[in-house]
Amino acid sequence: MNQILLVEDEQSVSGVIKAYLEKEGYQVHSADTGLKGIDLFMTSKYNLVVLDLMLPDISGEEVCKIIRQTSDVHIFMLTAKGSLNDRIEGLKIGADEYLIKPFSPRELTARVNALFRRLNGKVHSSSVMFDDGTLQIDCEKRTVKVSGEERPFTPNEFDILRILVANKGKVLSREQLINKLYGEDFSGFDRTIDVHIKNIRKKIEADTKIPKYVVTVLKAGYKFGGVLVF
């Protein structure tokens, strides 16, 4: 059974979300402060964290940063802060999705279901290497290594890189990437992909000696440009 950690201080909101998710068969553990959420996370194994940003003790952003130090678990952020800059900042610090309050609990549940369908429905048993082994991607272990050093990837960052690699040489628009990543019903914003792409580039292209893997095609989208090692 998939385990979900819900960190939300508004009891009415927390109760509704918990009821909807448990109806779908998920086991939900809830915390009403950031510190309680961190304690729960450190003592149990979770497949997803649903995290409010406006908490009474420490901010949800701080909770996200602490979790990201040790885990690549999926994180859905819930917040009333809906500006573009707020959403971009949330993605930069490690969020996988960003839902703005007020939102429909049915929408959240649909996104959670889509996430687990994607994770449970795809099994990858091979690893691929590019440019004489400079970049190595293991799809079964969901790890990325650059020059032998493992780089930390959030789940969505890994999936975007995997999608680009699987379509090597083909230009994928933002819309195509969003559809492949979240499904056609996703109602997020295009900049989601741009922020994830920027994070991916920092992790695999920081060394100027490393080739440019994620290529921007003007007014079209992105493609993968590595040389496969057979």
Query: Exposed/middle/buried for 112, CB within 10 Å: 0-12, 13-18, 19+?
Result: buried
Reported as a single tens digit per residue, the pLDDT across 42-101 is 999 999 999 999 999 999 999 999 999 888 899 999 988 767 777 778 778 888 888 888
Q: Are residues 188 and 224 in the same domain?
A: yes
Look at the chain and report how many structural domains it folds into. Answer: 2
**Strand extents, DSSP E, 19-142:** 27-31, 48-52, 74-79, 97-100, 127-130, 135-138
- Look up residue 223 and give its two tokens: 């493609």
Q: Quote the domain boundaries for residue 45.
A: 3-121
pTM here is: 0.63
Residues 134 and 92 in one domain: no
Residues 182 and 85 in one domain: no
Q: For residues 177 and 219, state if they share a domain.
A: yes
Q: Are residues 178 and 76 in the same domain?
A: no
pLDDT in tens, the chain (230 residues): 899 999 999 999 999 999 999 999 999 999 999 999 999 999 999 999 999 999 999 999 999 999 998 888 999 999 887 677 777 787 788 888 888 888 889 889 988 988 887 776 554 446 788 877 788 998 888 899 998 899 989 888 999 999 998 888 889 998 888 888 877 666 555 577 888 999 999 999 876 566 688 988 888 999 998 776 54
What local confidence, expressed as pLDDT, does residue 21 receive? 96
Q: Are residues 8 and 117 in the same domain?
A: yes
Together in a domain, 186 and 208 = yes
Are residues 161 and 210 part of one domain?
A: yes
Rounded percentage of the chain residues whose pLDDT exceeds 90: 38
